[in-house]
Amino acid sequence: MSATTRTTSSWADSAENAANGSSARPVKPAYVPPHLRNRSLAPAEPPSMVANANERGLGNNWGSSSNFNKPEFGAGRQGYGSGGGGGFNNRGGGGVVREHGGRREVNPFENDVDESLSEQENTGINFDAYDDIPVETSGENVPPPVNTFAEIDLGDALNQNIQRCKYVKPTPVQRYAIPISLAGRDLMACAQTGSGKTAAFCFPIISGILREQYAQRPRVARTAYPLALILSPTRELSCQIHDEAKKFSYQTGVKVVVAYGGAPITQQLRELERGVDILVATPGRLVDLLERARVSLQMIRYLALDEADRMLDMGFEPQIRKIVEQMDMPPPGMRQTLLFSATFPKEIQRLASDFLASYIFLAVGRVGSSTDLISQRVEYVLESDKRSHLMDLLHAQRENDVNGKQGLTLVFVETKKGADALEHCLCVNGFPATCIHGDRTQQEREQALRSFKTGNTPILVATDVAARGLDIPRVAHVVNFDLPNDIDDYVHRIGRTGRAGKMGLATAFFNDSNLSMAKPLADLMQEANQEVPAWLTRYAARTPYGSSRNKRTGGARFGGRDVRKETSYNKGTDYYGGAGGGGGYGVPASYGGGYGQGVTSAWD
């Protein structure tokens, strides 16, 4: 942070300020960039004018930069569907190339070309960053890894799509997970954010469906019988997986359908009636479809849970148990089950074993850790200073933008109301922002995400609905405006940058309301070779150790551990394994989102 910024204070400063009662500062009427602060004159463009322009949905150039000249705020708030590709399931738009199941199959790669990003992005993956990555596998008869896609028999059609995706060689998690899955084994796989887990579970499923001659599916009017089910915790992530799976299965004849809440069910029902091999869904909408008998799980051969630890925590577990254990899905052993996440608490590993048969545990990278590709900073910022401090960061970012192609900034807050308020504050101060949270309509959510991805609105304020899985290549900076209460949530949030071998920056605002995060944050940063500020180390030393699920083992470079190796398996209360630290993590007393009393969950 620049020395000119007034809002950042050292730990000692803040203690002094608190003693002087200076934390209760008057609310500032409007943001003034650092270089204008010592002038007595009003800013060049009065904030009220900016606000009016925003409300009318007029252009806002974010200062002098002309790069972001089509902000979505204003327009984004006032109804959708008129331009900009609004509307449900309207993510396509590519050219029609082939008859498919009586309908024309849209070319899912067309959009990549339009965005002129994919080639550079995917071939630009920095595999050197993964070369010395630690890998642990356990379980019986673990199939060996491969080094190239050519070594694996995925089939011509799928191989062609891998080329179309411009994937030159498999990422480490793919090198291990694909042969394991192709061998028909159940898998619990843990690999760092942005390391290619989606393809790691999609390729074997598509290839398996293509290879096997499955028995004729029942012909019951209006009931769909998918062969594979992929569950994910948020609507946007399900849509993303669907889009990816459609690319991977292009021109193979494998049919992928997505079902998620908030969108009209009729359109999804129509899609299902046309036939489905792979169903990607959020749990709530799937339960609805099952109860209406519009989907049967009787023919399921593959079950994949993305963000599996989230899917099995207290928030989702009952729904997942209902889907997997209480409907008509074949039991473990009769289906293949693949669980993937970047974090895998022991407690969740134990739960997950109910869904698996003789599984292989795979850990690529330090489990539950962040990747070294993300530069992590933590700054002490008083609650009352957070907004102006954020605007200082955004302002400095724009000033440092040399080539006019500034990256996107994702700002995480704790509550839905907080997201709305911060979005509004940024907009009226001339920073083009939009927001995404569970109280916005699905149309608004999709529009906000689209506007962010295209760079029209380069700042997205989000609750944890955007914390997991979303793959947005140009996210250069993640700001934890409000730190989460759970270190795993922090890992997933910052993982929205530094993806596919690229570098990223993550900044966290810390103050006395985040005491329980001091120790896990300091440990995590140390593990990832980041500079830990002295004041954070002092806070960490003062934090009681043992009451929090965030408790981590000290100094283990590779903390990924198969819970079956623990002597306390089935009766222990540790949270995470540790390769050398002893101990582990505290019991997750409030596992399931980590929200304090009175705070509504940010999840769907």
Ligand X SMILES: Nc1ncnc2c1ncn2[C@@H]1O[C@H](COP(=O)(O)OP(=O)(O)OP(=O)(O)O)[C@@H](O)[C@H]1O
Q: For residue 370, what is the DSSP state?
A: -
In the complex, the smallest distance separating the C-beta of residue 472 from ligand X, rounded to whole angstroms, is 9
Site for ligand X contains 76 (CB under 6 A): no
Residue 461: φ, ψ to 5°: -95, 130
C-alpha distances (whole Å) from 18 to each of 349, 381, 383, 388, 539 are 43, 12, 12, 19, 16
Q: Does 107 sit near ligand X (CB under 6 A)?
A: no
Binding of ligand X at residue 167 (CB under 6 A)? yes
Told to check if 181 binds ligand X by CB under 6 A, we report no
CB of 244 to ligand X, least distance (A): 7
Size of the residue set binding ligand X (CB under 6 A): 20
Task: For ligand X, give the closer residue by CB, 191 or 279.
Answer: 191
Task: From 67-75, 296-304, 384-392, 494-502, give the range in contact with ligand X by CB under 6 A.
Answer: 494-502
Rounded CA-CA distance 342/384 in Å is 33
> Per CB under 6 A, which region of 163-171, 271-279, 407-415, 524-532 contacts ligand X?
163-171
User: Minimum distance from CB of 491 to ligand X (Å)?
Assistant: 9
> In terms of CB distance, is 426 or 500 closer to ligand X?
500
CA distances from 410 to 48, 369, 453, 508 (A): 25, 20, 11, 12
Contact flags string 503-542 toward ligand X, x per CB under 6 A: ----------------------------------------
- DSSP class per residue in 35-73: GGTT-SSPPSS-HHHHHHHHHTT----STT--TT----T
Closest approach of ligand X to the CB of residue 224, in Å:
26
Residue 242 contacts ligand X per CB under 6 A:
no
Interface with ligand X includes 315 (CB under 6 A)? no
Residue 108 interacts with ligand X (CB under 6 A): yes or no: no
- Look up tokens 């934390």; give the residue: 23
Binder among 76, 315, 345, 495 for ligand X (CB under 6 A): 495
Angle at 541 between CA 538 and CA 546, to 5 degrees: 150
Min dist. Cβ of residue 523 to ligand X (A):
20
Shortest Å distance, C-beta 395 to ligand X = 29
Those residues whose C-beta lies under 8 Å from the C-beta of residue 410, and which sit 6 or more positions away, are 452, 459, 460, 462, 466, 472, 475, 477, 478, 479, 496, 497
320 contact partners, CB below 8 Å, separation of at least 6:
231, 283, 305, 311, 312
| CA-wise closest residue to 62 among 344, 376, 395 | 395
Is 368 a residue that touches ligand X (CB under 6 A)?
Answer: no
Binding status of residue 122 toward ligand X by CB under 6 A: yes
Residue 171 found at the interface with ligand X (CB under 6 A): yes
If one asks whether residue 179 binds ligand X (CB under 6 A), the answer comes out as no
- For 468, phi then psi, to 5°, come to -115, 135
Q: How far is the CB of 260 from ligand X (least distance, A)?
A: 17
Among 504, 501, 476, smallest CA distance to 128 is for: 501
| CB 173 to ligand X: min, Å | 7
Residue (54 or 174) nearer to ligand X, CB: 174
The span from the CA of 316 to the CA of 310, in Å, is 7
Contact map string, positions 430 to 469, toward ligand X, x by CB under 6 A: ---------------------------------------x
Q: Using CB under 6 A, pick the residue from 500, 521, 528, 587 that binds ligand X.
A: 500
Write phi, then psi, for 376 (nearest 5 degrees): -105, 135
Question: What 8-state DSSP symbol labels residue 600?
Answer: P
Q: Residue 470 corresponds to which amino acid? A: L
With 0-12 CB in 10 A as exposed, 13-18 as middle and 19+ as buried, what is 339?
buried
CA atoms within 13 A on the CB side of 420: 8
- The contact pattern for ligand X, residues 183-222, with x = CB under 6 A and - = no contact, is --------x-xxxxxxx-----------------------
- 133 is an interface residue for ligand X by CB under 6 A: no
Question: Would you tell me which residues interact with ligand X (CB under 6 A)?
Answer: 122, 125, 167, 170-171, 174, 191, 193-199, 342, 469, 471, 495, 499-500
